[in-house]
Every structure is written in C-alpha cells, then in structure tokens.
Structure 1
C-alpha cells in the first residue's frame, strides 16, 4: 500500500534534532532565533520573526495590530479551522473570499464582495503547492487601506520569501510541510515596527518544553518508518485485524492543538532545539527534493488526462506549481477511497481544512464554489518515492471514478 504522504525529513535530520534536544540549552534560544531571522531575510527586504507555528504568528499579528472589535478579516474561503478560530478569538469577523477551482485563486467577483470599508486584514492562502497572482488583491488592499497577509505554508521553495509587496508572508515548517522541522514558522514583515511589536509580545510567552519536542521527534521516527510502503502495509493490516479505523488514527497522529487549549498552546516561544533543527533544515535544503515532487505531480496529472480525462484537478492552472499535494474531485469520495485502497493506494479526504462561513453581514458572500469543491475533495498519494509504474497504476485505478459535473462550479471551465 502506498501511503497518502511521506514526511519531508530524513532520519539524519531527526537524529540531529534529538541531538540538539539533548545538548542545546534554551539559554541559546535568543542567539539561535536572531541568527535564523537574519539569515531568512538576508536576500530580501523587511524583518523576520520566528514563531512556534504559523497559527502562533497569526495570533501574534492580530495582537500586534490591535484592531477594533468587529473589524473584518477577508480570508481565502478554504483554510485550516484554527485560522478562523483565532480571528474570532480576537473579536474580529472572518469574511470568506470564494475561490476559482482551476487556480485556487480568489474569484474576482468574490474579492469585490468580501473586501470593503470594514476590512482591516486580507489573508490569502497559496494552496496545494500552487501560487496565487496577488496583483488584484494588492489593488484591493490599497483601495480599502487594509494589510495583506499571504499564507505560504503550502508554497515553500528555498529562495521564495513571499511577494515583496505583501505586508506579511508566513511560512510553516510543521509536520507535513516541505523542509519540516516538526514545528516552527517564519514570518516576513515589511514594517519593522510591527515586527518589533510581535517580538516584544512573544518574549512574554513561556518557552516550548524541549522534552516535549524531543518526544515529538521520537514519534516521527516511528511514523516515518510506518509511512514506507512495507511499514504502511503492515499498519493497515494491523488496524484491520484490531478493528481500528486507520484513517482516523493517522489524522489524530499528525493533528494540531486541541481546540479548548488552542490559544494557550499557541502562545509559546519555540525552544532552542526546534530553532536549531529549523536552521539546519533550511540552510541545507536542496531544491532537488522540490523538483522531484514537482515532476511527479506534473506526471500524475498528465496520466490522469490520458486515462481519465473527466477527472477534475483543483488548482491545475496555478503557476508556478510545486504539487505539494495532488487533489482531485470525486463525485463520491468515500467510494473513491475504497476503490483506490483495493488497488494499493491510500487516498484521503483529509480533515485539516474547512470552508469559512459567510457572516450575517455578508449574506451575498456564500463561497459556493469552495463549499462544493470541499465536499468532493480527495488527496492522492504522490511523492518522489513513487516511480512511473506506481503513477500509471494510480491513474488507471481512477478510471471508474466520477468527478462532479463542471456545471456545478461557476468558474471551473474558465480558461
């Protein structure tokens, strides 16, 4: 069985992190953080702030901005639930921006509806490894005097620090991201005063426990082994023998913070071992891994067009595109998952994202395309370890799978 995803971290990196957890004292935390932040912006403008996670950075940013209660935050309609929860925690109103399924970029009509005089922040996510053209969003930002935040968690490349005109660019190095350090994030801010404000707020937080971080590294040593083809096959067999839902088990093993503890857990400074591993990973990261992932994604999409051309691939028209994941739309995702499992491929709907609800103040802003897309979304396994034979077999296994009609999406057929 091919697992749904492989962690982008080597055993040597995990061992390096464990060594750091044993030898790097938190007294070196400020030194490591300063070195990492200076390195991150050495070839770009602005200031960098290292955080525990992008969600921690998002919470920090909203604290630093001190927006009036009831201010609106226009958001890509597809995001992780915690990002929406943090907006509401600060007394702000999330307003969804519907997405064009072909590019996963904001729909122009939805931008006009969602961004208005009460908008103070606009946050746009680059989804599935594609990158959004921010020019129309920058124009909308300037029109209303908001700040623009780009969520680059799924669009990392070694030389990319975000759009130079974005006010804040956020990069995540969490469990399933490229160049993962099993945590950590870097924010690039154009405004040095705002960056200083975020650092000052973060300095009041307790430091992440190094022992807990070491336990995470040990857990992922095991999970990395289980994500190999023999290891994952054994896991599936064991779960079935014990009557366990392996999909639920896997989702729980990589999930984030519990909802009732979200804000408290976010408000921690990254520990020294995390900063050391993150610097190690980023400074030694090769583009070869990303080029291999991009090639596999492009090849799988070519094969889908050959064997099952009716299958819709959200974001296929985005450029550039790294294919961090390869999603498709299935009329019946549960049936598709079972069909692929029988062929030896572990596909998943995933439970890490949500559709932002339109507030009562924006009844015309229901993100219809995004909500319809989300109901049919399915993620395929696709990574460098999968050779041509595996990709061909995957595409062939999808032949009996139906996609929803393109007429269900207002812009899916747009060029």
Structure 2
C-alpha cells in the first residue's frame, strides 16, 4: 500500500496555464473584442519588437493551432498533387494528415536521438524533382542547429517551413531569417493545446501572405460557445493536475482503488486538440480565432516570466544529468538550446518500468503523447525511419515540468535509474 507522503506531488500531465489567464479570459464573453484593434495594439507590437527581435519583411497571422497554419499555407501555395515535402521523422499524426489531405506526400528522415535533429545528407538523399519544400519540426523542446539544411534548401529553391510549437521560448527566440514560414505557440515551452492558439510568420513573401489572409478571412469564426465550454471543461483538470496537494491525494485514490484505470489517457483525450469533423477533417481547422482565444494568447504573452522559466530549465537539466550519469538516454540532451516540452527518457523495458514507477508514486506515463513516427509513403522506395523507431518506442515521459522543485526532480530521476538497474540485474539481457 502506497502512503500519501511517498507520492511525488507532480503529475505527468500538467496544464500549463495560470488561473488568472483562465478567469480573465471569461470576461471576453461579456465584453466584445475588436480583433483588428486588439491584434494591432497587443500582438503585432509585442511580437515584432520584443518576441521576434525585429525581423524585417515578415507578416503575422494568428490561427487556431499549428495544423490550421500548415493547412492555410499549403492551400495558398497550391502545389500540384503528388508534390513531396521532406520532413523530420517524428511529428504529430494530425500534421501528417493535413499534408496528405492537401495532396502532399510527406517523406520522413531519421531523427538522431542525441540531438533530436537530422543531417543534411539525409535531406539530400530524399531530394527529387517532386520535392517542393522541407518541414523541420523541433520536438520535446530540443532545437538542433538546422542552418546547414536550411541553406541547402534555399539553394535548391525549396519552400522552408519550421514547426516551432514545441521549442519556441520568446522573448529569447532565435528565428532563422532564411526560413519562409514558421509556426509556433508562445507563453511557455509547454503550451496548452487544450486552449489552442498559434502564430504564423511569413517572411519576404507579400503575395503568399495576402493569399493566406484572404483564405483565413473567408472562414467562419470558431464558436465562442464551444470555446466557453472548453474553458470551463478544462478548469476541473487544471485543479486536479496542477495543485500539488489535490494531485497527491487524487493519485493515491487512483493507485489504490482504481489500479486498472488509465486515467492519464482519459484526461489527455478529454482536453486534447479540436473535435474533428469526420466528414471533412480539414474543415476542423478552417476557422478564424474566437475573441476569447485571442485574449488568452495575449495574456499568456504579456505575463511570460523569462527568469522563472530559465530557472525551471536549469532544474530540469540537473535531472537530465542524473539520468545520463545513470546510463540512460535523454533524447535531445546534446543540444545547446535545450528546453523541455515533455520530459522523455529512453528505458529498456518501458511498460514494466512504467508500472513500477507508478506503483512507487512516480507518475510516469507512456503512449498518450501526440507525437509519433512518420511512416514512409505507401509503395515507395523510401526508407522507414527504423533508427528513430528503435529509441522512440522505448520512451517514457517523466512528471517533470516548470513548476517541479529540484528535490522532487532529483527523487524522480534517481528513482528511474534505480528501477532500470533493478530490471537489468533481474534480466541481464535488457
């Protein structure tokens, strides 16, 4: 029987949102917002001058999510069906679906475990006359140096897209001016997809921006009623997950009284993303941002605490050192620009390790992240990213986020090393 004080008071699931953001957003339902004025006064001023470091010749669009941004740019580019885009081999399945439904063939390349990045040789290997662009996605908060890849793509006349949803940390952002199109979320490294919101940056292409803007303005506005329901629905998970005392006691109940119930998957599925339109999946994303979502994004941007974030990152890196010293692989550990969207660690036997850690009060989880391996095109000669799969399938996610204190992080990481060593000694072949 697990005692309450043995449970590490942090959940693997965490909604990165402050209650003041949530409650202030509710006022937007009572007081109408002039979107154009709001964007002009709050977004463009702060994004261009503070968050993006004054990059020139850029245009900005606010969208529901990164998938909506990608769908919008693909519509505007209007490439011939069967065009190919070379992409990093770990991504969100919905993003791959957006590419395919727009007639684009995503061609994945291997992702190195140490850097969570790709090499230029891999991109060159899959370059053909059908290649129209590349998409670089930085995952788990690790931003590898893609300068060489971007310069090569530029020399080939390819359209360059960067998905920074899991790596963007403004106002310390380092955006490559040679990228044609970037999408990112802001406010923190682990934005809450439950509340939506994304920023698109189009560089040096006024015509493309105008096409995207015209398309977006033809969309209906996403229902404020639906967003209101989502806001209230996510209030309860926030209380259960983000409060240390409530989280500790509720997990004691789950562990001891409902040991076979996968509450993590239940919670993630209840707050994740947008309800898909089964008859037309792309239609899921073809809406303008509702006023309350705009208010939420602005509040998160204005209240982002850089010092607090950097201090949290140092605590998380301290835990990474413990795992590495224990002989475990932390994907992305070798990257200088290392933050944590999720906290992954590769273990030999993830399912057994998961069960033991949870029984010991460490709320690890597996299998409920949105990320997955991108499969090669059906019937093609392209290679499946087997090297990436070899470590990706063994990833566990640890309950370490920006609010986790150093002592708890050390306890969690030492506990993981101890369990893995125990399993190795029990089964030396692991």
1:297 equivalent in alignment to 2:316: yes
1:41 equivalent in alignment to 2:48: yes
Paired residue for 1:114?
126
Paired residue for 2:377?
359
Q: How does 1:7-22 map to 2 (within 5 A)?
A: 7-22=15-30
Worse-matched range after superposition: 107-116 or 322-331 = 107-116
- CA 1:64 to 1:403, structure 2 compared with 1: closer, same or farther past 3 Å? farther
Worse-matched range after superposition: 73-82 or 235-244 = 235-244
Paired residue for 2:300?
281
Give the Cα separation in 1 of the matches to 2:422 and 2:92: 24
Paired residue for 1:101?
113
SS of the counterpart of 1:150?
strand
SS of the counterpart of 1:331?
coil
- CA 1:373 to 1:341, structure 2 compared with 1: closer, same or farther past 3 Å? same
Paired residue for 1:411?
none
SS of the counterpart of 1:94?
strand
1:30 Cα offset (Å): 2.8
1:50 equivalent in alignment to 2:56: no
The answer to whether the Cα contact below 8 Å between 1:52 and 1:269 also exists between their aligned partners in 2 is yes
SS of the counterpart of 1:15?
helix
Structure 1 residue ranges without an equivalent (≥5):
406-415
Q: Output the aligned Cα RMSD.
A: 2.5
SS of the counterpart of 1:96?
strand
1:106 Cα offset (Å): 0.9
- CA 1:321 to 1:178, structure 2 compared with 1: closer, same or farther past 3 Å? same
1:239 Cα offset (Å): 4.4
1:31 Cα offset (Å): 2.5
Give TM-score, length-normalised by structure 1.
0.90
Paired residue for 2:183?
170
- CA 1:21 to 1:403, structure 2 compared with 1: closer, same or farther past 3 Å? farther
1:13 Cα offset (Å): 1.1
1:364 Cα offset (Å): 4.1
1:237 Cα offset (Å): 4.5
Aligned length: 401
**1:271-292, Cα deviation, whole Å (9 max, x unpaired):** 1111122112212312023213
Paired residue for 2:170?
158
**1:357-384, Cα deviation, whole Å (9 max, x unpaired):** 1124652432122111221111111124
Paired residue for 2:3?
none
Give TM-score, length-normalised by structure 2.
0.87
Residue of 374, 379, 388 corresponding to 2:392: 374
Paired residue for 1:314?
331
SS of the counterpart of 2:201?
strand
The answer to whether the Cα contact below 8 Å between 2:107 and 2:382 also exists between their aligned partners in 1 is no
SS of the counterpart of 1:363?
coil
Structure 2 residue ranges without an equivalent (≥5):
1-6, 425-430
The answer to whether the Cα contact below 8 Å between 2:193 and 2:273 also exists between their aligned partners in 1 is no
- CA 1:215 to 1:288, structure 2 compared with 1: closer, same or farther past 3 Å? farther
The answer to whether the Cα contact below 8 Å between 1:294 and 1:323 also exists between their aligned partners in 2 is yes
SS of the counterpart of 1:345?
coil
Worse-matched range after superposition: 28-37 or 382-391 = 28-37
1:180 Cα offset (Å): 7.3
The answer to whether the Cα contact below 8 Å between 1:226 and 1:235 also exists between their aligned partners in 2 is yes
**1:30-87, Cα deviation, whole Å (9 max, x unpaired):** 3223445522223222111111111100000100000000000111110000110001
1:30 equivalent in alignment to 2:36: yes
